[in-house]
Structure formats: structure tokens, C-alpha cells
Amino acid sequence: MSEAKEPARRTPLPDHDLSGRQLGDYKLLRRLGRGAMAEVYLAEQCSLGRQVAIKVLRQELAQDETYVKRFQREARAAASLVHANIVQIHEVGQIDGIYFIAQEYVQGMNLRQWIARYGTPDLRLALVIMCQVAAALAKAAERGIVHRDIKPENIMLTRSGEVKVADFGLARIVSSQEGVDLTQAGMTMGTPLYMSPEQVEGRPLDPRSDLYSLGVTCYHMLAGWPPFAGETALNVAVQHLNKAPEPLENIRTDLPPALCRIVHKMLAKDPNKRHAGARELLRELRQVQLEYVGDEWPEELPGLETLVGEAAVPEVSHLTQRLQAVMASGPSQRSRRLVWGLWAVMIAAACLAGASVAYFGLVERPLLASASRRPLAVPPQANVASQWLYAMEVDTEDAWRAVIEYFDQPQYRLYHVRAKQQLARIYVDKGNDEAAMRIFAEFAALDDSQPELRVWGLAGKCWILTKQKQYEQSMAVFAELWPLRRYLEGNALMSRLLYYAVRENRKKLSPSRAPEEWDEWIASQLEGETTDSPP
């Protein structure tokens, strides 16, 4: 290829900031960070009006044709992993000698940053994180994909409470010839801290290698430091091969022994002594959840706090403000105890208030209007919390419907609301606009006592109408949404959809039908977001 022969003229140096450049359908807005393999940019996908993260391959890696072919092949394989707990890859491409991955834009912080800021989590939150990462690895294993670089930096915690595993498209393609510089001085953090023994020895890998790395990550998360550390990567690697970690129960006496055993099982030197797969790990984590947390586990619901409007439940908003103030104060042991105490109170209040609000707003409507009543290809679980965990793991339409249909009692309305929002996401991903619109319309029809749910429905409805080229109707819905816009602040996903809708509507209608203040407000929501993307 001509560009392979002329890299100096066509491939920019890796430390050059590409912000402002057009890369095919993507406008690179600003650089978010740099990693060992790629630079990360926030970009707008012009055709869809959505924000994405663009990872540009480093120049020296782009010069190796064998490496590039593997990069493209295996990144495309990773793009087939569609799951709620995996950062979605949208496109793998090459333009003007620049090799890139366009992927889902994740807002929040990675687990390493979270630990540094807040310290070790309590049992409930730890289980939420562990279960969601295990669900992602189970999905990857089904496709025969080994991540190879599970570590806190590649586990993203979103503002809505979801956990997403990043860099399947990059970590998987590390060349076996590259290896790791095990003589590097001052090695205290980095990939060698989380490598499996078989990785250290260069042996063939299977999904159990990822479980070992997850075990190291979980040990770090729960203890506050990794099980092994040293002055050089070589020193750390030898410990992965020969040294047993300090028992976790000696460090965290508050944790159930069963959870500590699970972590140490993942850390077994022999892959045959680890869990057979991520699904077995999930079953053991569920058992810990049932025994030590209980049947009702509302914290597992992503974005639970968004279900309660400020006006309806001011005491919850007050607790949220106190929680945020404590979280900003530092990672001291005293602060951590206060954080999780407040968190438990806030969740309990939100669950009661949210369930009540959702009940009165939605009880008179069918759980899934016009939904097929065909039998669900999903096994019933012992309780609604386990059913939610199952749905999170398999992430299919039937699985989310099962949360609603198997547990249709009014006290589970909070779960129903969140399950419907997950269904809408699946329908949008599949291009099933009719089914998505039914859910958006149901939420949009709520009264103003539930503004956050209503504005979510209105935003989705506005976007679908624009996709269907019903521009007048879309603008009418946006006008209805406008007085409630403050309840959408911080919801970057819906802000992006609205940005696309308003921009397309302005192209088709008179500019006066889509005032510029609308576009300016949406743009301010997107620009104002604080974003961390995995390097």
C-alpha cells in the first residue's frame, strides 16, 4: 500500500495533537489522554450527531504491517461484543495512514482513579462492580475473545452506576513478540501487576487468564493495593509465578470469608484451580449476595439515583449533596465509612420514594404495551435481584422482559422502570424504532410529578421522530421538553440524541422552528461534562 511506503508524510507523530482534524465521519474535538498504544480523542460522529471516543494508534506501531493487520482483524472481532458492560466499538478504520478505533464515549472515571479518590468499597458496591465485570468477561468468552489486560484502568465506572470494561479492541492485539520489559526500574504500577502466570511465561491463553487478572484487580480494589509489588516488572512477574498473596481476610476482616475465597480462587497459579469460567464466578458471587446482602439489592440498578426528582423527594437530594461533599473531601478511612453509610441511607430513601413514584405513574398502563406475550426463553430466578443480575449478564430482550413479567408485583416497579429503559436501549441498537417509541411515549406521557422520567421519554421520542423524518412533530416534542430541560442536565446520552435531532430539524425546517438557544443549550450540556476515558 502506498501509505505504508510513505509513513513520514502521511502519519502524524504520536505527540501531535490532532484536535480539530476531520477523520472521515469524525470531527476530533479535543484530546482526552495518551496511552502506551494510542491517543484518545473526544470526537463528534457527524452523520449521527453523537459523541464518540477515537483511539489513534501510535505511529511506531502503525509502521508494522503484520501488527496493523492483526490490529484490524482482532479489533473487528472485539467490535462484535455487544453488551451493556463492554465499551462498544463502533468502527475500526484507517484514513491517510492513521489507524483508529471509534468507540463508545464513556463518562465517569476508571476504577484506579476511583480507588485513589475514595478508597476501598464496601461489600455491596464491590459485588456490584465484580458482577458487572464478570458479566462482560462471560460475553467475551462466548466469542472466544481473551481481553489480556484486565486492570483497574480498563474498568470504567459511569456516572449512572454502570460498570464497563474497556479496550477489548486494543488489549487483545498485543503482539506476542513485543513482550514486557521486565528489567524496567521503578515499576510500581502497570500491566505486569495484573498479568497471569501464563502470560508471564508466554504460554497460550484462554479466558481463565482474564479471571486471574480480575482476581488481582479485585484484590487491589478490596485491600487498597495489589497483591504483589516490586522495584522492577521482573520482580513482580516472579511473584506472580511463585508467591502466595497475603490472605485478603487478614486485611479486610469486615468481608465475608466466602468472598475472600472467591478472590483467592481467581488468583490460583494453576488455571485448572480457578473458576472454569466467568459464569461460574457469577454464580458464586450471587450466592454471596444472597447470603450477606439479601434478596433486595437496589444498588445493583444502574442510575438508581436518577429515578427520583428533586422536587418530589428533597431529602434524597439533600443526602446526595452531603454524599458528594464527603466524596470530595478525600479517601480517609473515616470519610469512606461516612460515604457508605450515607450511600445506604440515600439508596433506601430513593428506593422507597422511587418505587412509590413509579407505581402511581405507571401502574395503570400495561407493563410492556403491545409486547409479544410469547414465552420467554429465560429461566426464572429466585428473586427479582437475581433476575436483574441475570439480565445484566446476558443483556437480551427476553432477559429484561423477564424482570418485568416474572416479578410483576407493584413493589418491584422500580426494577420495572429500569428494565424498560434497558429495553429501549436494546430496541434502539437493533433499529426497532417502533418498540423503542412505545417505551419512550409511555414515559413521555407521565405528569410533571416525575420530571426526570418524563424528560427521558420526551428526549427519546424527539430523537425517534427525527429519525423517521417527522421533523414538525419532533420540534413539537422538543418544545414540550424545553421547560423541563434542567432535569436532563448531566444525561450526556440523551443530550447527544437531542443535539442530533435539533441539528437535523434545523436543516429541514425554517431556522425559526429550531431556535439557536436550543442548540446552544444542548451544546453547553455536552461541553460542560467532565470526562475520563481509559488511556
Q: Rounded distance, CA 320 to CA 525, Å?
A: 21
> What pLDDT sits at residue 344?
34
Same domain flag for 237 and 162: yes
Same domain flag for 341 and 198: no
Closest by alpha carbon to 56, among 106, 21, 82, 6?
Answer: 21
Same domain flag for 217 and 251: yes
Q: What is the pTM of this model?
A: 0.56
CB-count burial class (<10 Å; 0-12, 13-18, 19+) for 177:
exposed
Same domain flag for 338 and 437: no
Closest by alpha carbon to 418, among 398, 403, 437?
Answer: 403
> What pLDDT sits at residue 296?
47
Of the candidates 104, 119, 145, which is a domain's last residue?
A: 104
Whether 149 is catalytic is yes
> What pLDDT sits at residue 326?
34
What residue spans of 11-156 are helical by DSSP H?
59-62, 65-79, 111-118, 123-142
Q: Rounded distance, CA 243 to CA 156, Å?
A: 29
User: How many domains are there within the chain?
Assistant: 4
CB-count burial class (<10 Å; 0-12, 13-18, 19+) for 457:
buried
The DSSP call for residue 293 is I
Same domain flag for 278 and 324: no
Instruction: Please identify which of the residues 17, 122, 149, 210 carries the catalytic annotation.
Output: 149
Phi, psi of 212 (to 5 degrees): -60, -50
Same domain flag for 121 and 257: yes
Of the candidates 244, 270, 294, which is a domain's last residue?
A: 294
- 209 contacts 148 by C-beta, under 8 angstroms: yes
Same domain flag for 330 and 438: no
With respect to residue 421, please indicate whether it lies within any of the assigned structural domains: no
Q: Rounded distance, CA 165 to CA 333, Å?
A: 28
> What pLDDT sits at residue 514?
53
With respect to residue 363, please indicate whether it lies within any of the assigned structural domains: yes
> What pLDDT sits at residue 154?
92
> What pLDDT sits at residue 36?
64
The DSSP call for residue 312 is T
> What pLDDT sits at residue 188?
32
Closest by alpha carbon to 149, among 167, 128, 162?
Answer: 167
Residues of the chain with pLDDT under 70: 1-15, 36, 74, 159-160, 169-191, 294-374, 489-493, 495-496, 506, 510-535
Residues 6+ apart with CB under 8 A from 284: 258, 262, 275
Distances (CA, A) of 241 to 104, 121, 199: 36, 28, 10
Same domain flag for 77 and 114: no
Same domain flag for 396 and 488: no
Q: Rounded distance, CA 286 to CA 262, Å?
A: 11
> What pLDDT sits at residue 517?
63
How many CB atoms are closer than 10 A to CB 46? 14
Q: Rounded distance, CA 441 to CA 28, Å?
A: 34
Q: Rounded distance, CA 159 to CA 140, Å?
A: 24
Q: Rounded distance, CA 11 to CA 4, Å?
A: 9
With respect to residue 424, please indicate whether it lies within any of the assigned structural domains: no
- Look up the domain containing 224 and give its range: 108-294
With respect to residue 342, please indicate whether it lies within any of the assigned structural domains: yes
Q: Rounded distance, CA 60 to CA 13, Å?
A: 9
Same domain flag for 235 and 128: yes
Same domain flag for 227 and 269: yes
Torsion, CA 270, CA 204, CA 80, CA 370, rounded to 10: -30
Same domain flag for 276 and 216: yes
Q: Rounded distance, CA 88 to CA 531, Å?
A: 17
> What pLDDT sits at residue 254?
92
Of the candidates 56, 78, 104, which is a domain's last residue?
A: 104
Phi, psi of 270 (to 5 degrees): -85, 120
Q: Rounded distance, CA 48 to CA 346, Å?
A: 37
> What pLDDT sits at residue 372?
46
Q: Rounded distance, CA 476 to CA 474, Å?
A: 5
Torsion, CA 145, CA 394, CA 278, CA 105, rounded to 10: 60
> What pLDDT sits at residue 449?
72
Closest by alpha carbon to 421, among 393, 394, 448, 392?
Answer: 392
Give the three cell numbers for residue 401. Answer: 422482559
Q: Rounded distance, CA 420 to CA 397, Å?
A: 10
